[in-house]
Amino acid sequence: MIRIVTLSEFPPDVIDFVTRRLHAAYGMGCELEGEGEIPADALDDEQSAYDAVKVVDEMDDDVTLYADDKIVYLTNEPLTAPPGPMGRGPVDGYAQYGGGKALVTAHGLPDKGLPLEVGLAKRAAHYVGHLWDLHHCFDPRCAMHPGWSPGFATYPEVALCLFDREKSERKIKLGSS
Amino acid sequence: MATKTHEPVIGDGSLHIGDRVVYPNQGICRITGVETKQIAGQNWEVVTLSREEDGATVMVPKGKVMGIGLRKVADVAAIERVFDELAIPNTDPQLDWKVRHRENADRMSGGGLFGTVEVLKGLHALSRVRPLPQKERELYDNARHLLVGEIAAAMNIPLHVAEDNLDYALWPPPGMTRKGRPLPPATLGPPSPTRPAAEDEDLGLEDEELGGTEEAVAPAANVTVVEEEQPAPPAAHKAAADKEKSKSPHRPPKPALAKKARPAAAKKAAPAKKAAARKSAPAAKKAIPKKPAGKAKAKGKR
């Protein structure tokens, strides 16, 4: 089951669209679990964006996760991540690889030229994929394609490529067993 | 007098119990100890490793530790060199599948960091020209998995941050730089054709074996051009997505051009189907007289 927790206000039809798309992409149940608050101390040093890793690690919620449960936090706030060898780049979410929690932001979606619900659903599908150990995909149609590449807006459908779909199905079967 | 405990020598002496090491094709492991195991009536000294990803135990005969390519996790300087290498665009992928397969297999079994980088970079460059066949897609994913794990372990950063950084070099977002040098922003690559799973089980190399490499490239390029020329306007996206609801949403819609993507295979398949139909027709005719014979036998037995 994929459980969604909103950390900002979203119209109900947007959440409805996101849950439907996630259900369709992974063949798992998906429901809105409730609302939460983003930890205030997760702001980065410049106080301009939230550190995505800190937000997920410090999130205090009482959602119970079972074997194959995944939890996705949705927010509108800008996010950042610890600098890596390439410095800082665009960050639209964070996921614990092979873990249970992911964070997705709708920040910056209007610039992509996609409707809010489509962009958010595509990002959510991307980060849920990371929770199932999926890596980035070179196919621009696939939801696992990096969000900053031109393929994100060119192909608005929220779908996985054949390889990633099969891999996620295998992982989901193992998880549920 | 206290007795000095001797730590067993592992490999060439550079590895110790508790070290994080890279096992070729398996990923990051931690050396947990040296044990003596009785295998086929012989005592073998084995080095036990615990794979960090899932906790699986790997046992390697002590004498073969260096031979299999077990090595320490790369240091930060080596990872920086990896990113220098990744940031140089590769515009000349190996198109000969035999050479590519041999080179990639050697690099992966060698277990070297830069070998894995070359596999990933080469297949990434090829994926910009045309979609990868199934086996190479798996190899691409495997190389990516190993590299992300090693970058995260070496730099002590989360796996997600490591993969994002890897792709900041492979698919640079606008404005990305490496050591002050601006990187060319990523362009749109060819989408993979959506085909049923059954067709993907082969290597997808028939086209190349028949010398159809250039032909195989062309359809993929055509698909890209068509998609690029006719991008759906943002306003139409919602309508298109709503329309999708009524269709099966799990499987991505089959593009109209999917048939054009494999002309050689389609041409081959058509005569093969005809031949199969011809073969099956007489077989069906023969099968009819067999029935009474079977019945007669059965009667005879009774």
The domains located in chain B, with CATH, are 20-72 (2.40.10.170), 76-182 (1.20.58.1290)
pLDDT of residue A141: 92
How many angstroms separate the CA of residue B221 from the nearest CA in chain A?
13
pLDDT in tens, A15-63: 999 999 999 999 989 999 889 899 888 888 778 899 999 999 888 777 6
CB contact under 8 A, A81 and B164: yes
Annotated domain spans of chain A = 2-168
Q: DSSP letter for A45, please.
A: T
The pLDDT of residue B259: 41
Q: Which residues of A39-65 are buried (b: 16+ CB within 10 A; e: fewer)?
A: beebbbeeeebbbbbbbbeebebeeee
CA distance A13 to B209: 51
For position A153, what pLDDT does the model report?
87
Given a cut of 50, the residues of chain A with pLDDT beneath it are none
What pLDDT, on a 0 to 100 scale, did the predictor assign at position B158? 93
Neighboring chain B residues of A162 at a CB cutoff of 8 Å: 192, 194-195, 197, 200
Q: How far is the C-alpha of A152 from the C-alpha of B18, rounded, in Å?
A: 43
Mean pLDDT (whole number) for B213-226: 36
Tell whether the model's pLDDT for residue B207 goes beyond 60.
Answer: no
Q: What is d(CA B17, CA B8) in angstroms, rounded to the nearest whole number?
A: 8
Residue B121 pLDDT class (50, 70, 90 cuts):
very high
Distance (Å) from the C-alpha of residue B111 to the closest C-alpha of chain A? 20
Res. B242: pLDDT tops 60: no
The overall average pLDDT reported for chain B is 72
Contact indicator for B116, B108 with CB cutoff of 8 Å: yes
Q: Which of A82, A130, A139 sits opposite B191 (nearest CB)?
A: A139
- pLDDT (mean) for B205-226: 39
Mean pLDDT of the region B273-292: 46
Task: Provide the chain A residues 126-145 that lie in CB contact (below 8 A) with chain B.
Answer: 130, 135-136, 138-142
Distance CA B124, CA B141 (A): 10
Select the residue of B164, B194, B252 nearest A89 (Cβ to Cβ): B164
Predicted local distance difference test score (pLDDT) of residue B92:
81
- pLDDT category at B29 given cuts 50, 70, 90 is very high
Contact A161 B79 (CB under 8 A): no
Query: Is the Cβ–Cβ distance between B86 and B118 less than 8 Å?
Result: no
Q: Among A162, A165, A168, which would you mutate to test the B interface (most chain B Cβ atoms within 10 Å of its Cβ)?
A: A162
Q: How many contacts (CB atoms, under 8 Å) link A and B?
A: 153
For the cut 70, the answer to whether the pLDDT of residue B264 exceeds it is: no
Q: What is the pLDDT of residue A60?
A: 77
CB contact under 8 A, B165 and A27: no
- CA-based nearest distance A66→chain B, Å: 18
- Percent of chain B predicted with pLDDT > 70: 61
Which chain A residues in 75-114 lie under 8 Å from chain B, judged by CB atoms? 81-82, 84-87, 89-91, 94-98, 113-114
What pLDDT does residue B96 have? 86
Q: What is the pLDDT, as a whole number, of residue B5?
A: 57
- pLDDT class of B194 with cuts at 50, 70, 90: low
Phi/psi of residue B95, nearest 5 degrees: -95, -20
CA distance A123 to A93: 8
The answer to whether the CB of B161 falls within 8 A of the CB of B28 is no
From the list A97, A114, A138, the residue facing B234 with the nearest CB is: A114
Q: How many Å apart are CA B144 and CA B120, to the nearest integer?
A: 6
pLDDT interval class at B277 (50, 70, 90): very low
Query: Is B141 in Cβ contact with A146 (below 8 Å)?
Result: no
What the block records as the tokens of A95 is 């996921």
Instruction: State the pLDDT at residue B299.
Output: 41
Residues of chain A with Cβ-Cβ distance to B128 below 8 Å are 138
- A105 chain-B contacts, CB cut-off 8 A: none
B277-289: average pLDDT: 46
Asked if pLDDT for residue B50 goes beyond 70, the answer is yes
Which of A27, A162, A167 lies closest to B194 in CB terms? A162
CA distance B188 to chain A (A): 6
* Separation of alpha carbons B298 and B294, rounded Å: 6
Instruction: Measure the CA–CA gap between A104 and B219, rounded to whole angstroms.
Output: 36
Pairwise pLDDT comparison (B93 vs B12), residue with the higher score: B93
| Partner residue opposite A149 with nearest CB, options B53, B165, B171 | B171
Is pLDDT of B287 > 90? no
Phi first, then psi: give them for residue B11, nearest 5 degrees.
Answer: 65, -130
User: Which CATH number is correct for A2-168, 3.30.1540.20, 3.30.499.10, 3.30.420.40, 3.40.390.10?
Assistant: 3.40.390.10
Q: Which residues of B touch A135 (CB under 8 A)?
A: 141, 144-145, 148, 163
Residue contact B53–A98, C-beta within 8 A: yes
Q: What is the pLDDT of residue A176?
A: 66
Mean local confidence (pLDDT), B278-283 = 47
Amino acid B270: pLDDT: 46
Distance from A106 to chain B by nearest Cα, in Å? 16
Around Cβ B1, how many Cβ atoms within 10 Å? Answer: 3
The yes-or-no verdict on residue B58 having pLDDT over 70 is yes
**Cβ neighbours of B294 (radius 10 Å):** 9
Taking an 8 Å cut-off on Cβ atoms, the answer to whether B237 and A148 are in contact is no
What number is the ipTM of this complex?
A: 0.93
pLDDT value for A102 = 95
Report the pLDDT value the prediction gives residue B153, as an integer from 0 to 100: 94
pLDDT tens, residue by residue, B81-101: 999 999 998 878 888 889 999
Dig out the tokens for B104 from the structure. 């990639």
Find the angle CA(B57)-CA(B62)-CA(B64) to the nearest 5 degrees. Answer: 95
Reported confidence tier of residue B193, pLDDT bands at 50, 70, 90: low
Output the pLDDT for position A67. Answer: 67
Confidence of residue B267 (pLDDT cuts 50, 70, 90): very low
